[in-house]
Amino acid sequence: MRVLMFGRGVIATIYGQALESAGHDVEFYVRPGRAAEYGKTVRLDLIDARHSPLGRRISRTVPVKIRESVEQEDGFDLVILSVAHHQLASAAAYLAPRVGNATVLILGNMWEEPLAAVAPLPPAQVVFGFPQAGGGFGTDGILHGAVFRTVIIEADNGKSKQRHAAVQNAFRQAGFTIRRQRDMRGWLLLHFVADAGMHAQGVHHRGLAGLIGNRRGLREALLTTRELLPILRARGIDLSHHRRALLPFRFPVPTAAAMAWATAHLPIAQVSLSAHTDPDAAEARAVLRDTLHEAQRLGVHAHRLEESLGAPAKSADI
């Protein structure tokens, strides 16, 4: 399968190298002028849990094929788009006239209605999913990260079974298992408010890295998210479809204790947070801004979020 990774960020690099190792022909699209900056290889320091529950550390340098343009005639079978949610619109606008008949896997956060968020991509060619990986590039240029065995992919729900099957097969060939999500819209919005809770605490703790082993900070993050759940109800999400995912917010004290222990003692739980040391990062600010806007638009009281940001009750200027 010919696969195009949009960008050469953390998620694109982790999954791109996994798909390449499984025999797929993988290329990375970057903005003009970036190819020389990135070079033809990337150094990885990964904790890989595909074959071991706590992960196996892999340190190696892998080749990457980078291109600075995409055209319909390039003939990609699969395009994987994983960018910050506030960059989705511009990325989709660039890809729409260039994807040809490729399936486009959207792999990441979103806060708008899913198909609206990636318009004008052809809806029949779009599959939504979510990565189970994270990390960051250090000042040494090495990608320090972790990847879990599972990848979340929406159930086909009447869409093209052939496209869904092709996406799932590609990831299975790379050693991943697929967790199919029937209510992908609800799951994505729930994950977004969970991120908002974490980033709200990151404001006070030098980014998410400051939450490693921080029981109190993690508890406050869970309570902030619990306060935001009415936004999802107001947007028509049936939370009964996500009972398991909601358990941490129902029981924040024991959950925070377990998270604090895991992030302090298990490298695979720690590495995704440790890379985020900037509380003012663009994506973190965008998540907080957009969550607060929506809470205020829907009349949902988000006192913890407002207090964490120092935002007046009727202002979303962060």
Q: Where are the domains of the chain?
A: 2-182, 186-309
Residue position matching structure tokens 């009750």: 313
Query: Which residue stretches of 67-183 are H helix?
Result: 88-95, 114-117, 161-173
Q: Which residues contact 187 (CB under 8 A, 6 or more apart)?
A: 130, 152, 181, 242, 245
Distances (CA, A) of 63 to 18, 28, 142: 12, 11, 13
Indicate the pTM of the whole model.
0.94
pLDDT digits (tens, 9 = 90+) for 208-258: 999 999 999 999 999 999 999 999 999 999 999 999 999 999 999 999 999
- Locate 35 and state its tokens: 């190819």
What is the helix (H) or strand (E) element at residue 154, kind and residue range?
A: strand 150-154
Work out the percent of the chain whose per-residue pLDDT is above 70. 97
Instruction: Write the CATH number of the domain with boundaries 2-182.
Output: 3.40.50.720
By DSSP bridging, strand 133-137 and strand 143-147 are: antiparallel
Looking at residue 59, the DSSP 8-state letter turns out to be: E
- Would you state the structure tokens that stand for residue 134, as one six-digit string? 């994270």
With cut-offs at 50, 70 and 90, classify the pLDDT of residue 62.
very high
Query: Which tens digit of pLDDT belongs to each residue from 252-301?
Result: 999 999 999 999 999 999 998 998 999 889 999 999 999 999 999 999 99
CA-to-CA separations, 250 to 14, 25, 36, 226, 227, in angstroms, rounded: 33, 44, 49, 8, 11
Strand, coil or helix: what is 83? coil
